[in-house]
Chain A
Amino acid sequence: MASKLTTSNRAGWAFALPGFGLLAMFIVVPFFFAFFLSLTNQRLISPNPTEFVGLDNYRNLLGIRVLSIEPEVNAAGEIVRDETGAPEYPRVRTFTRNNPDYPQYAGMREWFRWHSGDTAKVVVARDVVFWKSLRNTLMFVLVVAPVQGALALGLALLINQRLRAINIYRAIYFMPVVVSIVVVSLLWRFLYAEEGLLNSILHGLSFGMFEGRDWLGDPDTALGAIKAMSIWQAVGFHMVIWLSGLQTISPTLYEASAIEGASKWQTFRYVTWPGLRNTAVLVLIVITMQAFALFAQIDVMTNGGPLDSTTTVVFQAVERGYGKQDISGGAAISVILFLLVLTISLIQRYLTREK
């Protein structure tokens, strides 16, 4: 295909080099640098030379075990029980602190536990906060990706009607997208406050039954509150992507289904949805990538609290890599995050592949 007219190695490289060079320097190099740094003990500023430490950073982050603890037994061989009849257990730290019989648990802390008969199964991890950040991030992605995708599709279908002034509504629904997430987070902090608007609305709607709560101050509701706000902010973005997908579907298909007497649901199921296949893959992958990157909302609204209930992987990477100047630890978290994003995108691509 190459015609003589357009072949030019010199001009080709000269035009592409500034862009490619910058991209290589500031995206590709740091990307591989992250893998390298995660295998060292590099700090942002340190008098000591950097050393290669193998997989230590990953071991420190990901080390996790289940510890089975038998209840305390008295001299007669009976299980010791407290007033409520629950068995009493030796403290976890008798296993994890300076106990030469259990070197594999050394330095670990309890994350959570469950009971199997009278035995307590205790999950202990080297870095409980990091495990919580992984759990929180996954919970965030698992809720936000489908809910935001579906709501965005709903809005797109609503906006895709032939109505006067419909463009004004489209512009309004999209408005939060152009506002910085930092600004949005601050505004919603106000909304979620104990004396805030949300509580008074719920109080009014429930005829006074609902007692106000501090949405961001309660470990049970803080992450949920951040999910809701994040969906509110970005749903307009994905609405527009769905809309552009809807507009690629040929009107003749709709005419045909109207002639066949298809119901609204049938039209959606057999005409609209199949036409949106590629859009669906794109929307899902973009939302997932954005959701994994959750940081600003946390930094502005909760700082990871209360009780680490809203800490996320990126928040941890920044807190360590920048806050504690532990570049290698932050880099290891970054690598784990990248592998997670990649895995989820590949799974999504596989599940939504053309059959």
Chain B
Amino acid sequence: MSKIRCALIGSGNIGTDLMYKLLRSDVLEPVWMVGIDPDSEGLKRAAEKGLKTTAAGVDGLLPHVEADGIQIAFDATSAYVHVENSRKLNDLGVLMVDLTPAAIGPLCVPPVNLAELAGDRPMNVNMISCAGQATIPMVAAVSSVQPVDYAEIIASLSSKSVGPGTRANLDEFTYTTSNALEKLGGAKKGKALAIINPAEPPLIMRNTVYCEVEGTPDQAAITASVKAMITEVQRYVPGYKLVNGPDFDGNRVAIFLEVAGLGDFLPTYAGNLDVMTAAAARTAEMFAERMLDGTLTLPKPEMAQ
């Protein structure tokens, strides 16, 4: 069976972890890895796995897009460079899956809106943030039962799993995740907090989701909805687990989660990488399946904006 050929932009933690997931895909084939540091661990690993590599940034990839038949690109750089990267690749007819907090395209959390998104034929989809991928399914699970006035999430990440890009741009993480709690989670107001914990051995990613619902919480229905959604997420993130809750205190629902990774690039504590890269891979696979069966055709380069 043929596969859709892909490029990975950004050779840091996220890009490298994603590469391992794509190498296992039935419908995606990673062909290029793009970095800016020739000595980066990610580029070395990509070369070992037989990918073509460039350390010249996205401009090093552009001349090869057509000849190598690249149809989907993943951007794991930063919100600041993403806008240009996306424009350049969209111009060449390449669909962009955005793993930065730039959020210039529609937001995507697979179990929440992936099916719906497919019909819209976007050329850029945004994966929000690791915390967003881990928590929005829970907010959506609660808001599917009754209206959520306010959703607040706290993501605790191990220090070793948080790369320099995220560290230098924490505000973008905060804004993008808070916004997505509203847009996709269905909360009237969203707030995201991130904590980076340096403990050794590193702690597994934890996420706490608080929802304040309108009226008295329907405990049985919310509990059932949360548990069903956990099963959905576990399909692509097997280490996604409910530790405590849902706990009900007045109109407040508290859900305590743990996300263990598969250990593809960083060890299993870095579930924050996996939840993001698995969601991106899942999203791209859905588009790839539709490209392969002919239900989705990307615009020709000369027609693309």
Do the two shown chains form a genuine complex with each other?
Answer: no
* Interface residues, chain A, with chain B CB atoms under 8 Å away: none
* Interface residues, chain B, with chain A CB atoms under 8 Å away: none
